[in-house]
Structure 1
Amino acid sequence: MTGRRVVITGIDVLAPGGVGVKQFWDQLNAGRTATRGITFFDPTPFRSRVAAEIDFDPESHGLSPQESRRMDRAAQFAVVAARGAVADSGLDVAGLDPYRVGVTVGSAVGATTGLDEEYRIVSDGGRLRLVDHGYAVPHLYDYLVPSSFAAEVAWAVGAEGPSTVVSTGCTSGIDSVGYAVELIREGAVDVMIAGSSDAPISPITMACFDAIKATTPRHDDPATASRPFDGTRNGFVLGEGAAVFVLEELGAARARGAHIYAEIAGYATRSNAYHMTGLRPDGAEMAEAIRAALDEARMNPSEIDYINAHGSGTKQNDRHETAAFKRSLGEHAYRTPVSSIKSMIGHSLGAIGSLEIAASALAMEHNVVPPTANLHTPDPECDLDYVPLTARDQLTDAVLTVGSGFGGFQSAMVLARAQRGDA
């Protein structure tokens, strides 16, 4: 290990209600929700019929008709966000050694949207037992293999170093960035284009979550359907999106005069080895990930100024997470503002971890803690400061962001100001 410090110098975001960093932050700062009734397909047969969709036109975001034809929606998101992050960073990737530039893309469900749609076509709406492949899109194989996401991003930015897809369910967005950080720290690369993308709003995904009653059946007022930490919550709202970052070694970023959003000071991931969807109420495994991330960052719990929670809006997750914060931060947990941006942009599965990293970096950039929307009736078991309804001005030098995923995955990341530790 070289001990090199890693910083974020470029960000781009595609999120429900806001494509681009400014629109994304404006929405979070305003506490404005982007959840609505599903418009992508007829949701009538499903238990949950609300989602957080992105109004996205590939051509207006720089994708050619051929690229749009070749790539699934989630891959399109990843490529657009990667190009935007590089532009935001001001980095001349073409002037770098391409073998020293790598890519990691996180995704929980890959090209679900494309596969679902193509099955509908080749099976003639499900009527054919033996499907007719002649009606399939020519690039259907790329939909099948999630590795195509990393390949598309690498081609888009000219990266010829390590290129990897990380798929750890709903922690993919944190884990992909955490893996990228380690590659820079160990000296394998100098720059990483890292983030995640998912576009899961499709009939098959809705059916899967309906089966386990994880998504909300609240249809009367979709804008208030996502209610993390609220006593009336009854499941999460499915979303979609992408966030991609340019990560660099701190010294190199400073040498070229780059704008530095934050240092990624610590990262850790753990598994509960317990249950595919269940969580222990004591939050022990998430607490352990938090402690390990703080240790790597060489920070005390009292130095955390804000917690960007997983906050999915399921009863067991919110209680588990609350217990984990108390277990890892002790009394400081009661003094630390906590919020969930899923209340505004829904839960985009593998993408949400990167979107939450972006929100954390922007909270530091603006010294503002985004709120938890729709939090009117706090659950007595969730008794921390969840910043209800309205953003809060607060000096924010260090942020903890966490993720929790089916399969028992628990991940934590600490972001801090790059000036920390300077002489």
Structure 2
Amino acid sequence: MTAPSARRVVITGIGVTAPGGQGAKAFWNLLTDGRTATRRISLFDPAPFRSQVAAEVDFDPVLSGLSPQEVRRMDRAAQFAVVTAREAVADSGLAFETVDPRRTGVTIGSAVGATMGLDQEYRTVSDGGRLELVDHTYAVPHLYQYMVPSSFATEVAWAVGAEGPATVVSTGCTSGLDAVGHAADLVREGTADVMVAGATDAPISPITVACFDAIKATTPRNDDPEHASRPFDASRNGFVLGEGSAVFVLEELGHARARGARIYAEVAGFATRSNAFHMTGLRPDGKEMAEAIRVALDEARLNPEDIDYVNAHGSGTKQNDRHETAAFKRSLGEHAYRTPVSSIKSMIGHSLGAIGSIEIAASVLAIANDVVPPTANLHTPDPECDLDYVPLTARDQLTDAVLSVGSGFGGFQSAIVLADPERRSR
């Protein structure tokens, strides 16, 4: 076995379930076309709510390969995770039955767990909220699995036959970044040879919409759902809720090369920090995010000038967009002005804990295709956001190294550096 200090971690399989089309190919086509998948909410009647738009996944669990028993057992977010993991495994070309299952692990990120299942079951056992003392006999038999997000990792582990470390990471909106970063650390330290890692969330439910309505974080631009998500635009007024999942197969580089795997990118560096400041607020100087970026670059042994593209958190709230812009300037220096930055939330919304992994998928595909996805709906830039945000149209560009960042309620700030391992070695 390679010495742990020399172990490098690469992505060899990608699976994506996202608004606008299921599968990594459909996802990438939507991004590079600059199309948006935001629309009026159809999963329930949104009329009573301030914000009535979201980016929904057109998802049929049976057509996606789940059995009736799996559909009955799993919440929508768990269904996303299993379907997406199966795509990643198939894409990797790795015969999992030939790998030591005890050295194969799973790490899944989620911010809000089985929100849709819990919301639905509460309405059932309370008879639509009319019963103060609920009748548990009306609940589904697998309600306990909705209560514990660890069931997400369990379901994926069962699906791929992994008997190594199995973990759920729940750090708000950085969960998807942190799950992949944790999985990479497990491979790098020698605890596992293969990790199936990513994130999933299906939060488009009345309770979630009501919560974000209460703090006015989501956009009230209900008359124009297609253009409602406007990161870095002067007219932005809140984010658009989304849903989805992205899962990856991570391997030690030598392991991947020995079997002739297609290597999408190396997980070259990762770091996470907390601002210890406010549950939902952000300091305008971006200091903690900048520190996470600095540490991730150091781990990757890259300089700021080596970054070819920044996949931004870009939620479309004024404080987040300005905070990020300041963090990029603080961490990348003058190179920040020469580096394309974009937010795919402009097209697929903000799927909370899942979005970090979905943004990793976009970053990896940007490296694989040498294309930078655009920021849709960016017509009038905020003067305080004065970097190159790749408005409206995708851009052909040699992309060897990508920085992807996330910011989450509670003060979480995470950064991951992804790179082409061959070009990086040269």
TM-score by length of 1: 0.99
1:394 paired with 2:380, answer: no
Q: Deviations over 1:274-305 (max 9, x none)?
A: 00000000000000000000000000000000
Match of 1:371 in 2: 374
CA distance in 1, matches of 2:225, 2:214: 20
CA distance in 2, matches of 1:193, 1:50: 32
1:284 paired with 2:287, answer: yes
Match of 1:350 in 2: 353
Match of 1:160 in 2: 163
Q: Which of residues 104, 107, 110 in structure 1 aligns to 2:107?
A: 104
Unaligned runs of 5+ in 1: none
Match of 2:122 in 1: 119
Let me know the Cα RMSD of the aligned residues.
0.7
The Cα shift of 1:96 comes to 1.0
**Counterpart mapping for 1:130-279 below 5 A:** 130-279=133-282
Q: Which of residues 412, 417, 422 in structure 2 aligns to 1:419?
A: 422
- The one-letter code matched in structure 2 to 1:94 is E
1:382 paired with 2:354, answer: no
User: Percentage identity across aligned positions?
Assistant: 80
Corresponding residue SS for 1:102: strand
Corresponding residue SS for 1:59: coil
Match of 1:13 in 2: 16
Runs of 4+ in 1 over 6 A off after TM superposition: none
> Is contact 2:400-2:424 (8 Å) kept?
no
1:70 paired with 2:73, answer: yes
Q: Which of residues 36, 53, 64 in structure 2 aligns to 1:33?
A: 36
> Is contact 1:3-1:186 (8 Å) kept?
no
- The one-letter code matched in structure 2 to 1:341 is I
CA distance in 2, matches of 1:38, 1:204: 14
Unaligned runs of 5+ in 2: none
CA distance in 1, matches of 2:257, 2:424: 15
Match of 1:314 in 2: 317
CA distance in 1, matches of 2:99, 2:420: 26
Q: Deviations over 1:198-233 (max 9, x none)?
A: 000000000110010000000111000000000000
The Cα shift of 1:422 comes to 3.4
> Is contact 1:235-1:314 (8 Å) kept?
yes
**Counterpart mapping for 1:324-363 below 5 A:** 324-363=327-366
TM-score by length of 2: 0.99
- The one-letter code matched in structure 2 to 1:237 is V
Q: Which of residues 52, 58, 63 in structure 2 aligns to 1:60?
A: 63
- The one-letter code matched in structure 2 to 1:144 is M
> Is contact 1:237-1:346 (8 Å) kept?
yes
The Cα shift of 1:421 comes to 4.9
> Is contact 2:228-2:240 (8 Å) kept?
yes
CA distance in 1, matches of 2:175, 2:234: 28
